[in-house]
Structure 1
């Protein structure tokens, strides 16, 4: 079962805006995305559910998750689908074109780690004894 690192109220506090109607799904997706792209590459203590035990790390993960959701709202894409598909579209006299070499959507804005995620995880309070970014190790 996927971990969810933030709540709708944390999102509202983080952004100052009311959450989107699908905020639970967005928080879940952002948590899964950050697990696969960022958090799995970090060392931190966890509880039985796999959630950070340290309060500062929990708060940083919540802020990072909210930042990722906010990014998805801002770019209008949470799945990466915006990076796939059409080559040329013409509506009346307006014509838009882009390369169709992107087939996975991995380069779409919705599949990028939001810059504010790194702001949340680089707090000087997050010392290496409680969060080590980029530490991949096995026990």
Structure 2
């Protein structure tokens, strides 16, 4: 799981307007990893735990994480990324079919459009220094 989690279940509830799912902490950790991967070259000031110190940056990361989860839920993805890469997936006993091309976003992340916009508005896309 991610070392840094940028949003809380309460923020997810506020973002989606629905109660956070029972596995919200797992989803938040995975979505935070996605956002980290999408921002591999972004530069912003952090504290000793690696969390952003600027409230606007922290807010943008929280919004992006919540948007990423909202997007994954809307597309039927459980946070593994398998939904976007396969036409059909079963888990027990495993059956995969119809591999699709991997996402082409930064960090090889299928980034939610709303997450992308939140990060863009905050100036966190690659090459921007805070």
TM-score over 0.5 (shorter chain): yes
- Give SS of 2:18's match: coil
Aligned position for 2:126: 134
Which TM-score applies when normalising by structure 1? 0.71
Aligned position for 1:45: 45
RMSD: 2.5
Number of residue equivalences: 114
**What 5-or-longer segments of structure 2 have no aligned partner?**
89-96, 104-108
User: 1:72 and 1:50, CA in 2 relative to 1: closer, same or farther beyond 3 A?
Assistant: same
Following superposition of structure 1 onto structure 2, how do residues 25-104 of structure 1 map, counting pairs within 5 Å?
A: 25-36=26-37, 38-77=38-77, 78-82=79-83, 83-84=85-86, 100-102=98-100
Q: Deviations over 1:62-114 (max 9, x none)?
A: 0000000111111111212222375xxxxxxxxxxxx7344xx734xxx5100
Q: CA deviation at 1:23?
A: 0.6
- Between the aligned partners of 2:124 and 2:25, the Cα distance in structure 1 is 28
Which TM-score applies when normalising by structure 2? 0.76
Q: Which structure has the bigger radius of gyration? A: 1
- Between the aligned partners of 1:121 and 1:80, the Cα distance in structure 2 is 20
Task: Determine whether 1:11 maps to 2:9.
Answer: no
Which deviates more, 13-22 or 75-84? 75-84
TM superposition outliers: structure 1 runs of 4+ over 4 Å: none
Query: CA contact under 8 A between 1:80 and 1:106: conserved in structure 2?
Result: no
Aligned position for 1:120: 118
- Between the aligned partners of 1:132 and 1:65, the Cα distance in structure 2 is 14
